[in-house]
């Protein structure tokens, strides 16, 4: 009876250091485990990559800088625009008669780009220049001049410390396709099962429509097939050369000048607006068809009458709805399936509709507001918008009318479908346009298959590691108590 308590006492003495030792071992083990997990998987300091794209449009050139974390270049939505610069003056095609100056015109924006990108990244930063409809037209008119303009800008760009990747005229098909890729990439629509949105781009010299079509695309030149992030897309696209808003205005003027009268009463301009215009400027464009007769006089006087309804019927005359060899056509005999899904309408679609305050109006409301706006006397308009250059201001009545006609009559957006058009300039800080899609494609940043993503983000991984380690520690301690402990072990713990 006396020996028992002594034995228990000995047991206790022997157990205590062992428990402490095991506990310390467990704690050290867990700390080591967690530290290793955290250190090993620590998010690496982000390394950014950069890319520059020059959008050499018909009316102006813009320089865009893009940035993305190097290790995530295949994830959708990782590339963002960090800077844009508008080149002073007109588009590069306007340098046809003084080609040497074309390159130099880019100086201010390219110097700015040098300052925006870290110097150590310059040599690995690709630079692309893509020219659109203005250069396509110059190419038709004078191939030598267009080549000279391109080599002038190419030589100039080669003089920068960046990685020059070419200056070329992109096709209308590319322009449409890359615009579609841009808006859907920025909207993260390539993820999983999300539906895509169509892209509507209106420039000065051409306009593009691009959307996914369930209906078969009958004409091969309008059909694109993409496999992006593991999904297949059947895309319809068309670029109408000469149907950008500046060329469309020339077409409309040329039509009206067929009467032979050098005094033109134009319903697309505000009452009281008067301007002397050159016949050469209107008929000098390769867009103005040779079937139209050119007046013999050099100048004509344009007098605004401000009548949107009459303007609309004039504008409609530049579309040919009579010939179609396909199942269905938009205009000028071009195949187009019925418009499907949501659309993003950007560039001049946005500038004009935003100025006219029509970005969230219904089709009928837009027509009504436009009628009111066009009928405003020119003096009043100038006074109300004194900050806007007259060159732009004079044309918003025409441009608004043209946009409504193009969308409603040209592409067949009914009042119902009108609600699916979102007029936008940017998506998440990046401009909507073809440039981003162009760069993504040329740098192979849009994979055909979805990249393998880690099942957990870094923070989730660390949290789970810590949680389970703590749980394990608690269990081990409990077990240690049970194996070595006295019945009081657990009780003591609860008391504490």
Ligand X SMILES: Nc1ccn([C@@H]2O[C@H](COP(=O)(O)OP(=O)(O)OP(=O)(O)O)[C@@H](O)[C@H]2O)c(=O)n1
Q: Which of 26, 49, 53, 59 binds ligand X (CB under 6 A)?
A: 59
Among positions 461-490, residues that touch ligand X (CB under 6 A) are none
- Alpha-carbon Rg for the chain in angstroms: 33
Which residue in 50, 58, 287, 353 binds ligand X (CB under 6 A)? Answer: 58
Rule CB under 6 A: say whether 359 interacts with ligand X.
no
Exactly one of 175, 218, 276, 390 is catalytic; name it.
175
Q: Does 203 bind Ca ion (CB under 5 A)?
A: yes
Least Cβ distance, residue 59 to Ca ion (angstroms): 8
What CA–CA distance (Å, rounded) separates 273 from 224?
45
Please give the full DSSP string across 345-388, using - where no structure is assigned: EEEHHHHHHHHTT-TT--HHHHHHHHHHHHHS-HHHHHHHTTTS
Interaction of residue 347 with ligand X, rule CB under 6 A: yes
Sequence-distant contacts of 230-234: CB under 8 A, at least 24 apart = 230/448, 230/449, 230/450, 231/190, 233/196
Range list of H helices, 41-163: 100-104, 107-116, 133-141, 143-158
Among 15, 37, 38, 60, the residue binding ligand X under the rule CB under 6 A is 60
Catalytic (active site) residue 165: no
Smallest gap, in angstroms, from Cβ of residue 302 to ligand X? 17
Enter the tokens of residue 470.
């703590």
Q: Which of 306, 249, 316 is nearest to 274 (CA)?
A: 306
Query: Pick from Ca ion, ligand X, none: which does 133 bind, CB < 5 to 8 A by kind?
Result: ligand X
Q: Pick one of 51, 57, 134, 271: the residue that binds Ca ion (CB under 5 A).
A: 57
Binding to Ca ion, residues 353-382 (CB under 5 A): none
Residue from 84, 217, 228, 245 touching ligand X (CB under 6 A): that is 245
Q: Find the Cα–Cα–Cα–Cα dihedral 22, 27, 28, 29, rounded to 10°.
A: 90
The stretch near ligand X (CB under 6 A) out of 40-48, 111-119, 202-210, 314-322 is 202-210
Give the number of other CB atoms < 10 A from CB of residue 40: 7
Among 172, 176, 204, 344, binds ligand X (CB under 6 A): 204
3-class DSSP assignment, residue 168:
strand
Applying CB under 6 A, does 244 fall inside the site for ligand X? yes
- Residue 335: φ, ψ to 5°: -65, 140
Tokens of 189: 């629509």
Longest dimension (CA), the chain: 135
Q: Considering the rule CB under 6 A, would residue 304 count as an interface residue with ligand X?
A: no
Task: Say whether residue 385 binds ligand X (CB under 6 A).
Answer: no
Instruction: State how far the Cα of 303 lies from the Cα of 479, in Å rounded to an integer.
Output: 96
From 30, 63, 129, 133, residue interacting with ligand X (rule: CB under 6 A):
133
Binding residues for ATP: 204-208
Q: What secondary structure letter does DSSP report for 6?
A: H
Nearest CA to 270 out of 390, 405, 404 is that of 390
Say how many residues touch ligand X, by CB under 6 A: 20
Which span sits near ligand X by CB under 6 A: 25-33, 138-146, 239-247, 283-291? Answer: 239-247
Q: Choose between 264 and 403: whose C-beta lies nearer to Ca ion.
A: 403
- For the CB of residue 123, give the shortest distance to Ca ion in the complex, in Å: 29
Catalytic residues: 175
Binding site residues, ligand X, CB under 6 A: 57-60, 91, 132-134, 203-206, 244-246, 347-348, 351-352, 392
């Amino acid at each position: 009876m006396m020996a028992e308590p002594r034995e228990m006492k000995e047991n206790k003495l022997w157990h205590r250091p062992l428990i402490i030792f095991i506990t310390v071992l467990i704690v050290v083990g867990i700390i080591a485990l967690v530290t290793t997990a955290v250190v090993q998987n620590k998010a690496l300091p982000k390394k950014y990559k950069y890319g520059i794209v020059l959008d050499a449009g018909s009316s102006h050139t813009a320089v865009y800088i893009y940035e993305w974390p190097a290790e995530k270049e295949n994830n959708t939505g990782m590339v963002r625009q960090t800077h844009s610069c508008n080149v002073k003056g007109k588009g590069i095609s306007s340098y046809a008669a003084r080609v040497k100056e074309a390159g130099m015109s880019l100086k201010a924006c390219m110097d700015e780009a040098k300052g925006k990108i870290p110097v150590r990244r310059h040599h690995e930063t690709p630079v692309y220049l893509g020219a659109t409809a203005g250069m396509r037209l110059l190419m038709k008119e004078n191939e030598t001049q267009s080549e000279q303009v391109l080599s002038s800008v190419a030589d100039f760009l080669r003089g920068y410390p960046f990685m020059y990747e070419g200056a070329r005229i992109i096709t209308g098909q590319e322009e449409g396709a890359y615009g579609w890729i841009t808006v859907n990439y920025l909207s993260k629509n390539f993820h999983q099962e999300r539906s895509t949105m169509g892209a509507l781009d209106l420039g000065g010299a051409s306009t593009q429509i691009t959307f996914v079509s369930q209906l078969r695309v009958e004409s091969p030149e309008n059909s694109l097939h993409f496999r992006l992030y593991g999904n297949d897309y059947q895309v319809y696209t068309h670029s109408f050369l000469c149907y950008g808003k500046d060329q469309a205005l020339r077409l409309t003027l040329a039509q009206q000048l067929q009467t032979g009268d050098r005094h033109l009463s134009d319903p697309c301009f505000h009452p009281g607006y008067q301007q002397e215009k050159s016949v050469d400027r209107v008929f000098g464009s390769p867009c103005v068809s040779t079937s139209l007769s050119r007046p013999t006089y050099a100048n004509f006087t344009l007098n605004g009458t401000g009548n949107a309804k009459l303007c609309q019927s004039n504008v409609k005359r530049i579309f040919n709805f009579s010939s179609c060899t396909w199942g269905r056509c938009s205009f000028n005999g071009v195949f187009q399936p019925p418009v499907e899904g949501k659309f993003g309408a950007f560039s001049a679609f946005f500038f004009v509709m935003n100025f006219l305050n029509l970005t969230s109006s219904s089709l009928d409301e837009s027509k009504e507001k436009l009628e009111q706006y066009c009928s405003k006397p020119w003096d009043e308009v100038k006074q109300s918008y004194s900050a806007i250059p007259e060159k732009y201001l004079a044309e918003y009545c025409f441009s608004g009318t043209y946009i409504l006609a193009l969308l409603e009559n040209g592409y067949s957006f009914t009042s119902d479908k009108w609600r699916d058009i979102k007029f936008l300039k940017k998506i998440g800080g990046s401009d909507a346009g073809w440039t981003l899609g162009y760069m993504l494609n040329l740098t192979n940043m849009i994979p055909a298959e979805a990249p393998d993503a880690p099942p957990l983000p870094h923070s989730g991984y660390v949290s789970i590691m810590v949680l389970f380690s703590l749980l394990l520690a608690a269990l081990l301690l409990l077990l240690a108590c049970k194996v070595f402990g006295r019945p009081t072990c657990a009780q003591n713990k609860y008391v504490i």
